[in-house]
Structure 1
Amino acid sequence: MTKNRLATVLAVLGGLFLLYIGAVFLLTPQTSVVGYGLPAWPHDQGEGILVAKGMRDIGFGLVILALLLAGQRKALGLAMAAMTVVPVGDMVNVLNEGGPAATAYCVHGLTAAAVAVTAGLLLRERPAAA
């Protein structure tokens, strides 16, 4: 598999995964927060922030897929490099809130690494010869 194809596959999977995670947070915010690494959320108390998290993820997923479909691979690489701060922030949040370190590092830390690798692959691509 070429590096360009690998970058494309990783970007598509990342975009689709974000759409899925966002939808899960919209549909079942109470149960989703535990998988995120935070303690169970009190029912009927501030669930709007969980919905906002779901919408954030859907928005990021759509940006990834839109830039990929538009053929804007360099812009996608830059966007994904910038987006790397989100899973890093999520990891720090889980650790600061006393969540499981395994979830912080294995879910959010590995996500940050995957996003950074995808961004790096996209940014290292050479333009196609004319």
Structure 2
Amino acid sequence: MSLKTVNTALTTAGILFILYIGLSYLVAPGTIAPGFGLPDWPSGDGDGFLILKGVRDTVSGLVLAVLLLTGHRRALGFVLLAEAVTPFGDMTTVLAHHGSAAIAFGVHGLTATVIVVIGLLTLRETRTVTAAPAPALS
């Protein structure tokens, strides 16, 4: 199995996961929100922030899907690295607001790490290999 095939499978799984999370926040934010790791959630008009998270996650998945489907693999690798900042930010937010450390590290931290690994693997797959120059004949 080639590195490209593995990267495609891992990226596809990641895209489907983040789309599921994003759409879940859009459709049933109150159901999925407790799994984020924060101790309390906003109520009333504050629930709109859950919808914002859903939009953010859905767009993140769509950006990756567009790059994957159009074959822009090098850009995909760089965007994966950039998007790893999101779960890292989620992890620090949970920790800063006295949320669950287990969820902060086990969900958000692990997600950030996996995205970085997939991004680096994708960049490795797309690196240009240059041949050593042939020795000059005298």
Task: Report the TM-score, using the length of structure 1 for normalisation.
Answer: 0.92
Unaligned runs of 5+ in 2: 129-138
Between the aligned partners of 1:88 and 1:42, the Cα distance in structure 2 is: 22
Secondary structure of the corresponding residue to residue 15 of structure 1: helix
1:52 corresponds to which residue? 52
Between the aligned partners of 1:127 and 1:114, the Cα distance in structure 2 is: 20
Change (3 A) 1:54 1:68: same
Between the aligned partners of 1:38 and 1:45, the Cα distance in structure 2 is: 18
* Contact 1:77/1:120 (<8 A) preserved: yes
Residue 27 of structure 1: how far off its partner (Å): 1.3
Alignment pair present for 1:77 and 2:77: yes
Q: What is the 5 A alignment of 1:30-69?
A: 30-69=30-69
2:97 corresponds to which residue? 97
Residue 49 of structure 1: how far off its partner (Å): 1.0
Unaligned runs of 5+ in 1: none
* Contact 2:78/2:123 (<8 A) preserved: yes
Between the aligned partners of 1:62 and 1:83, the Cα distance in structure 2 is: 12
* Contact 2:21/2:57 (<8 A) preserved: yes
Report the aligned-residue RMSD.
1.7
Change (3 A) 1:121 1:43: same
Q: Deviations over 1:20-44 (max 9, x none)?
A: 0001111121232210111242432
Between the aligned partners of 1:103 and 1:40, the Cα distance in structure 2 is: 14
Amino acid at match of 1:58: T
Q: Deviations over 1:9-29 (max 9, x none)?
A: 111011111110001111121
Task: Report the TM-score, using the length of structure 2 for normalisation.
Answer: 0.87
2:28 corresponds to which residue? 28
Q: How many residues align?
A: 129
Name which one, 1 or 2, has greater alpha-carbon Rg.
2
Residue 127 of structure 1: how far off its partner (Å): 6.5
